[in-house]
Amino acid sequence: MHSKALLLVLLLTSGGCTGSTPGEDDTGTAPVLAGPYLGQTPPGTEPELFAPGIVSTGMHTRDLAMSPEGDEIYFSIQAGPLVAILGSRLVDGAWTEPEVAPFSRDPSMVYYEPHVAPDGERFFFVAQKACQEGNDIWVMDRVDNGWGMPRRLGAPINSPRSETYPSVTRDGTLYFSRADEASDAEHIYRSRLVNGQYREPERLPAQVNCGKSQFNAFVAPDESYVIVPVWGRSDSIGSVDYSVVYRSAGDRWSEPVNLGPNINTPGGREYTPYVSPDGRYFFFMSTRAAAEAPPGGFSRQDLLRAHALPENGNSDIYWVDAAFIHALRPGSP
């Protein structure tokens, strides 16, 4: 049985954790977190829930991003109409408790999809007015030990259509999603940064835009591959699957490779991919549910406790050793 499923069954059958909140001990005090990746034990070849009770809490959670040094971690949470970017920093050897980022506190806006450029000097995110159509990509510059005032990227990146999920290479090239003018489909675009200015975006070829709709592509810092959530392919395991497309000399792209059943699930939705700056771990959002009904029935309190735990069917963030991504490249030994 999956470890979190076992935890949930134990909580439901024993009534455990009454009066406490995930991520807190039995005194209600948040734990002190030290070490890389919020002090979490790194995963192997099987995906593990990332930071249960700290990042993955039972609320809709997605969009992980990190600073190049790994000392800042950001993610998005949705709670009803509120959608915000949260952050935690490694200070004097300990991680701060995650809190809503200062730029992400306007209740008339929704904020999500953070991304820190590989050089650590720019912070990208997506924002829009709550309950309105149309997303724009925003950016902030590094200032001292924090971030400056946010600003829209403007043309030619933002347009009357919706632009989402910024991802940046080491040379500043920006990958992002743009909604189709005539349908609900989205496609992946790329814009080169030349003399500090973004060039007119180009829609990437059919190897990348390989389904009925594709969005939220993560590009490797060296631009050697992109990981793309794709809907509408015949090799799909679920409704939306992560696929990887490899780039080689001459800007040639491989055919897409499905990341397989270890990552993609029949009943879940997989929307937001990310690889840590050191290239060691693949983080991804999934809505997989691990709950199993306890024997003998359950009560309302059991339901409330289950709702307050991750893997309840809302989106969570998982991580796994990223070596398999390179092993899937055509021609790899």
Counting every residue written for the chain, the total comes to 333
**Cα separation values, 222 from 73, 170, 324, Å:** 21, 6, 18
Contact 56, 76 (CB under 8 A): no
Rounded to whole angstroms, the Cα distance separating 273 from 266 reads 17
Please give the structure tokens belonging to residue 91: 């200070």
Burial class for 239, CB neighbours closer than 10 Å (0-12, 13-18, 19+)? middle
pLDDT by 10-residue block (mean), the chain, 333 residues: 35 34 50 90 97 95 97 96 96 95 94 98 94 87 93 95 96 96 90 97 97 96 98 91 96 96 88 97 92 76 83 94 96 76
Three-class SS string for 86-109?
A: EEEEEECCEECCCEECHHHCCCCE
pLDDT reported for residue 29: 57
Q: Which amino acid is at 264?
A: N
> What residues have CB less than 8 Å from 117, skipping those under 6 apart?
123, 124, 168, 172
Q: Biggest alpha carbon distance in the chain?
A: 67
**Domains and their CATH numbers in the chain:** 3-327 (2.120.10.30)
> What residues have CB less than 8 Å from 114, skipping those under 6 apart?
63, 65, 74, 75, 76, 85, 123, 124, 125
pLDDT reported for residue 23: 52
**Entry pTM:** 0.89
